Chain A
Amino acid sequence: DIQMTQSPSTLSASVGDRVTITCRASQSISKWLAWYQQKPGKAPNLLIYKASNLESGVPSRFSGSGSGTEFTLTISSLQPDDFATYYCQQYSSYSRTFGQGTKVDIK
């Protein structure tokens, strides 16, 4: 299976900060990467697909980049609603795997 490693595991930030989360794949996955946001007690919500495509309805402060084995999710100016846990996920192989998650909390 392809392993996905996110960093950092926890990130403390303030409203207005630029935030970057990194996701590394154990082998090349081309651009077959998605990012999700999850709040406590809720289902995850798709933010980005195919590494850099913004899902409809997702604010433009979210962006994704990368290809191959290294990817980033950037929040350009953190808003109060963005404090949550973020997961990357590869869908290059039928056995889809998630990163372990990055919790963004209030500094």
Chain B
Amino acid sequence: EVQLVESGGGLVQSGGSLRLSCVASGFIFSSFEMNWVRQAPGKGLEWVSYISGPSRTTYYADSVKGRFTISRDNAKNSLYLQMNSLRAEDTAVYYCARDRPQVPFDFWGQGTLVTVSS
């Protein structure tokens, strides 16, 4: 059974940093592209970042470029999001989500809440 479990969320002050983790199981993690998607309270979905299986390619939303870094450790079946210079508008539930060929976000984690206080 495919499972994605996020952790690392919490309350942080504006300007601070946080590192989110997503542990995968039930599939060959290194073979799949992965993403982070967020959802501010009461708002819609926003794609944040993408990383290819071997980590050679990464992409970021303009809203986080230069502040967030996506990475993965295929030996640990883990995906990460390092978030620096956090702002109040980064407050959201952060989900990790898997891609499969030609299919986006076919599995999602349960999400982890990040709250940035100003």
Contacts and interface: CB of A to CB of B under 8 A. Distances in A.
A46 B105 CA distance: 7
Given A43-B95, A87-B44, A89-B45, A34 B59 contact: no
Contacts of A95: 47, 59, 61-62
B27 to A, nearest CB: 14
Given A43-B110, A101-B44, A94 B50 contact: yes
B75 interface: no
Contact size range, B: 10 to 19
Nearest to B107: A46
A91 B104 contact: yes
A96 B104 contact: yes
Nearest to A96: B47
Contacts of B103: 34, 46, 49-50, 55
A43 B104 CA distance: 14
A34 B104 contact: yes
Interface residues of A, number: 22
Contact of A55 (B35, B46, B95, B106): B106
A103 B109 CA distance: 22
A63 B37 CA distance: 24
Interface string A26-66: 00000000101010000111100110000100000000000
B108 interface: yes
B118 interface: no
B105 A36 contact: yes
B105 A98 contact: no
Closest 4 CB pairs of A and B: A43-B108, A96-B47, A98-B45, A94-B59
17 contacts: A34-B105, A36-B105, A43-B111, A46-B106, A49-B103, A50-B103, A55-B106, A87-B44, A89-B104, A89-B105, A94-B59, A95-B61, A95-B62, A96-B35, A97-B47, A98-B45, A101-B44
